[in-house]
Structure 1
Amino acid sequence: MKRLAALTLALLAAVAARADDVQVAVAANFTGPMQVIAVLFERDTGHKARLSFGATGKFYAQIANGAPFEVLLAADDETPARLVREGHGIAGSPYTYAIGKLVLWSAKPDLVDAQGDILKKGGFKHLALANPKTAPYGAAAMQAMGRLGVAETLKPLFVQGENISQTQQFVSTGAADLGFVAYSQVIRNGTIGNGSGWLVPENLYDPIRQDAVILARGKDKPAAAALLAFLKGDKAKDVIRSFGYGLR
């Protein structure tokens, strides 16, 4: 028994020695699923994902200026590709971990109709969206409004969030009557939960392909490679689907 206990302790010590932390920059829209995935990741691998959430554009600027992130889960596919081109990301590591969906949402139960006609009819004071210069969901919102022919008319009503989390907060607190947010933020049991919403048709905006990339600081780091491998596995995919994302 003593030998067995000693062997067990030795094995646990060996696992602990191999376990590591990985610093992960995560697009704000992926906050919910990544919090769940991080728990599963640590449980299954022993590695701990240290998460920071924010706008992809701001993360790009921070990484380019030496921020100590080792993995980026972006809200687009352009930023990871750019980081690789500029030597801040590892070639061959980017891949699409999720495909985002845009929703026009209000905390008020009867405000947003099922066809999104409210954008043309009006009757609201403020419309929230994420900064289109730094947040891909904000850029998608501008595309959708442009293709509907309402962007210029609605521009005086815009309330701009720094990222999609702040944008959702504007709507949920009533600072804005309605706003464009990520479907993952409002989905409950497979459909839009509280309030009212319109799932924006995907032909109104370019696909929101969200790519992950191992950054230069994560090169040759087992925990960084393990995280990307875990994201490609069934457990992570089940979580991603449950939050309303598409998968390639």
Structure 2
Amino acid sequence: MLRTPLSLTRRILPVATAVVLTLGLTPAAQAGETLVAVAANFTAAAKDIGAAFADSTEHTVTFSFGSTGKLYTQIANGAPFDAFLAADTARPEKAEAEGLAVEGSRFTYALGRIVLYSTDPTLVDEAGAVLSTPDAFDKLAIANPVTAPYGTASIQAMTALGVYDTLAPKLVQGDNIAQTFQFVATGNAQLGFVALSQVADHSDGSRWVVPTDLYEPIRQDAVLLKSGAENDAATAFLDFLRGPEAAAIMDRYGYGQSGS
């Protein structure tokens, strides 16, 4: 039986080992985690998108919800978010301008809509006529227009309808659109301007989907933050947000997409 000389064996083994390592057996990409700041109107949709993202990629995403203005303040003060899903374009633009976000990463992920909603099934008709009969209710809830773009849209709609001055004494403000919805859901306000996404999955109460020509488009931008620039899970989540599976979820909650 022929034997390989020891000197030749010593030359072959390192090469064979190198081939195995190159071919092989390198570990698969590891699953990662990301922390994302999300405007409150997008809560339900974000949770569904986050679950779909985890199923598709094995990455995990954790959300922190709040008003766009307050989330931006947290980001500016060093909160460790990797990405920011705002309810407007102004704060993501500002994040880029102030060096808090990765330049060129900003995109519009959704177009929001407002709806006048009440748990009373007879209070709001399909034309929103109740706004012209203020004796029919005591309190009208809106999100804080200083920090929440959905609140700004509500003011714009009332102004366009010529009812703002009359209704101003009846307004109660939530810190964000989630709290505004709670005011209505609990009966602390008889009706309110909330996000269509908050009522899209049920048909109780009464509602009027406010025509979009009564307020400026609620373009909701996302941006990758500098603190998440090296986080593969963060960039993967933003890529997923632009994809068809996320678009289908957003459509279910009443959002439009950029260009739609």
CA distance in 2, matches of 1:140, 1:194: 24
Alignment of 1:81-160 (within 5 A): 81-122=93-134, 123-160=136-173
> Displaced runs of 4+ in structure 1, greater than 2 A?
none
Structure 1, residues 136-191: CA drift from partner, whole Å, max 9, x if none? 00000011111111111111101110000000000011000000000000012xxx
State the Cα distance separating 1:61 from its structure 2 match: 0.5
Structure 1, residues 21-58: CA drift from partner, whole Å, max 9, x if none? 11100110000011011111111111111111110000
Structure 1, residues 115-144: CA drift from partner, whole Å, max 9, x if none? 011111121000000000000000000111
Q: Unaligned stretches of 5+ in structure 1?
A: 1-9
State the Cα distance separating 1:221 from its structure 2 match: 1.6
* Pairing 1:177–2:190 present: yes
CA distance in 2, matches of 1:77, 1:224: 20
CA distance in 2, matches of 1:232, 1:180: 28
Aligned AA (1:214): L
Structure 1, residues 181-206: CA drift from partner, whole Å, max 9, x if none? 00000012xxx611000000000000
State the Cα distance separating 1:220 from its structure 2 match: 2.3
CA distance in 1, matches of 2:157, 2:178: 19
CA distance in 1, matches of 2:141, 2:210: 15
Q: 3-state DSSP class of the match of 1:67?
A: coil
1:49 paired residue among 51, 61, 65: 61
Alignment of 1:1-248 (within 5 A): 14-15=27-28, 18-122=30-134, 123-188=136-201, 193-248=203-258
Q: 3-state DSSP class of the match of 2:65?
A: strand
- Higher Cα Rg, which structure: 2
TM-score by length of 1: 0.92
TM-score by length of 2: 0.87
Structure 1, residues 188-247: CA drift from partner, whole Å, max 9, x if none? 2xxx61100000000000000001100110112211110110011111110010000011
CA distance in 1, matches of 2:224, 2:50: 16
The root-mean-square deviation of aligned C-alpha atoms, in Å, is 1.4
CA distance in 2, matches of 1:128, 1:216: 36
